[in-house]
Chain A
């Protein structure tokens, strides 16, 4: 047990801690790798006096809190709409698999002034023969960035809502509330959703931490000068002048502090909202409401934006010369696919995903099997949560330095390890539910037939759980392929990947190559999901009870 706990602490916990400590150390003037130690807080003064600091701070807060509140707000009516629909969850998982960068690039192609949305209605409806002179992508308030974040986060929160609602008698409570005179929307808001919220708290906080510190989407969709704090930090870290590293680290520490404050503020606001809700509920007001259409409306809007983003990637990747107000490219050409080197980063991404997912799967199995054999929990949940809650830019640069200092130079191994910090938690979360739900009678009867623990694991548990194992692996691949900073920083330019290539290309002028790279980034996880769906079907083609599928 001690050895196993140590394993997880070293593999997952230590890198994050080292990363945070070294970032903090750098901000305070301690650089163990260089043997430098001149303590002081002048880096913070430098950071605060950077031009545009206030704007960056405002942008981060507006986009971070805006995206979180927006996603949660949208997930409420959508959750009510989906709750009675069987199989809703299986359509959400593939939506979750689309990587942030690919979605952001597609959304940019869709919403830019010269984007597909404007082309589709021009010039016949708008009269525009030239792209309109308005700022959409990169708007100074980060509204398009908020939209992009919400497109990724709403499915995540919806899935969490459906999972939380699973074991509850939602239909019975709905009937009870309505028999007391409340509309469906009111019963959902006042009675059912508040019971689900405790299970939503962690996903919401993960969304908050992610939105406050997102880099790849902010590079593509956010304002560029000044950018959000996380992007500003990345720019300073990668500036040619090494003197910029200290204010960068100081900014990263400030971002960590902001995350902490926002988290505390959120928890406080939760209480305030709960109190207000109880007061409202005691007044007994019934709001007459016609059948609400906001659920289906939001679902269609989201699918149009998300689906449109992927379709436009496909279109641009094969578009011949495509002039502005034309709704569709005049011709299709595969020449860019033939000429461009997209296979190299794609294979590299695939290799990184295979490695990090395989390690994450093995670690998860070790964890869950150890808990089974000892019949008690490992109490290491903080290990799973920490990498997801902390801003990535707050520890990944420190981690890269730490790896180097400990003798692990930037390269594939460092990248795989960094990705593992994010892949492992999601694989673990995906696997825990089905693993615990496994009928204990199966292993008990195997034991009564004389099967030892290893035989029980390999001949009973793993085969029976093959469908959820495949799903967890697909989620691992999706998380790995989506990683941007975890490739950029520990890879130091030596490890190509679709995420970093796509984001770098997005700021250039070659829309076709950008589209090809982003499309490949989106295709890899979707292929993994399809495989996860198909393999159990084939493996268990003669076992109806085990075919499973995506959940």
Chain B
């Protein structure tokens, strides 16, 4: 069930030089690896490549497998890779509960069972009774917790974190990072986090630095 990157390199549109030196990496289930590097080296592009959200025009080399399946040939929606984005990306026209229900995996059937699953996720996020709330009324940390729960409800086989904590206040960042890593670890899935924050690296199980 591990996430394996083999000799990955990325070239931006209309560039000839790869963004970073070829990267090989294996992330075990339940393990969190932090990828560090200066801004502009392509950390977010690496996340987009694995998640399937890379804009047109990039050239890629190497392979990415998850639990033995080659990811790069699959469309994003069939990769079972959850992404926690920088801005939580809650859908503004849906209530907090409906945002979570949209994420919740489809094989859990029945209106009651699904509502209970959503309530339970809110409870775990410390947001009991928030189901009917407008996402716009939530604080930054609350939004991030809902976004993480929404991703996890889809039962992903791997989780990617794209500098998701960078915009939070220092205190909140520590708390949010611990919350996220705890929940991801509890699901025994590999997680890859990109960041330029040393504290993120320390909180992860392992750190890798991208270089040209």
Closest B-chain residue to A168, C-beta based?
Answer: B92
18 chain-A/chain-B pairs, Cβ below 8 angstroms: A172-B87, A174-B53, A175-B76, A175-B83, A176-B85, A177-B77, A177-B102, A178-B52, A178-B76, A179-B77, A179-B82, A180-B82, A181-B154, A284-B104, A284-B105, A284-B108, A285-B106, A286-B77
Give the contacting residue for A179; candidates B104, B105, B108, B151; CB below 8 A: B151
User: For this complex, into which size category does the number of interface residues on chain B fall?
Assistant: 20 to 34
| Chain A residues whose C-beta falls within 8 Å of the C-beta of B94 in the assembled complex | 191, 278, 281
Contacts of A195 in B (CB 8 A): 91-93
Q: B residues touching A (Cβ–Cβ < 8 Å)?
A: 48, 51-53, 55, 75-78, 80-83, 85, 87, 89, 91-94, 98, 101-106, 108, 111, 114, 150-151, 154, 156
Interfacial chain B residues near A278, Cβ < 8 Å: 94, 98
Interface string of A175-211 (1 = CB under 8 A from B): 1111111111000001100110000000000000000
What residues of chain A have their CB less than 8 Å away from a CB belonging to chain B? Answer: 169, 171-184, 190-191, 194-195, 278, 281-286, 288, 291
Which of A180, A191, A282: most chain B Cβ within 10 A?
A: A180
Q: In the bound complex, what is the Cα–Cα distance between A191 and B52 (angstroms)?
A: 19
Residues A181 and B83 in contact in the complex (CB < 8 Å), given A284-B105, A284-B106: no
Question: B122: shortest Cβ distance to chain A, in Å?
Answer: 15
Separation of A284 and B109 alpha carbons in the complex (Å): 9
**Shortest distance in angstroms between B69's beta carbon and chain A's nearest beta carbon?**
15
Which residues on A sit within 8 Å (CB–CB) of B111?
282
Measured CA separation A482–B83 after assembly (Å): 50
Closest to A174 in B: B53
Residues of chain B contacted by A173 (CB below 8 angstroms): 89, 91
A183 contact set on B, CB distance < 8 A = 75, 77
Q: Which of B81, B82, B91: most chain A Cβ within 10 A?
A: B91
Contacting pair A281 B92 (CB below 8 A): no
Q: Which 5 pairs of residues, A with B, have the shortest CB-CB distance? A: A178-B76, A175-B53, A176-B89, A179-B83, A282-B101
- List, in ascending order, chain A residues with CB within 8 A of B89's CB: 169, 172-173, 175-176
CA distance A173 to B91 in the complex (A): 7
List the B side residues contacting A285 at CB < 8 Å.
106
Q: Select from chain B the residue with minimum beta-carbon distance to A279.
A: B111
Q: How far is the CA of A190 from the CA of B77 in the complex (A)?
A: 15
Structural contact, B103 and A281, CB atoms closer than 8 A: no
With contacts A176-B83, A282-B114 taken as known, whether A181 is within 8 angstroms of B98 at the C-beta atoms is: no
Which residues of B are found within 8 Å of A288, using beta-carbon distances? 78
**Closest partner residue, chain A, to B95 (CB atom):** A278
Q: Which residues of A contact B98 (CB under 8 A)?
A: 278, 281-282
Q: From residue A265, how far is it (CB to closest CB) to chain B in Å?
A: 23
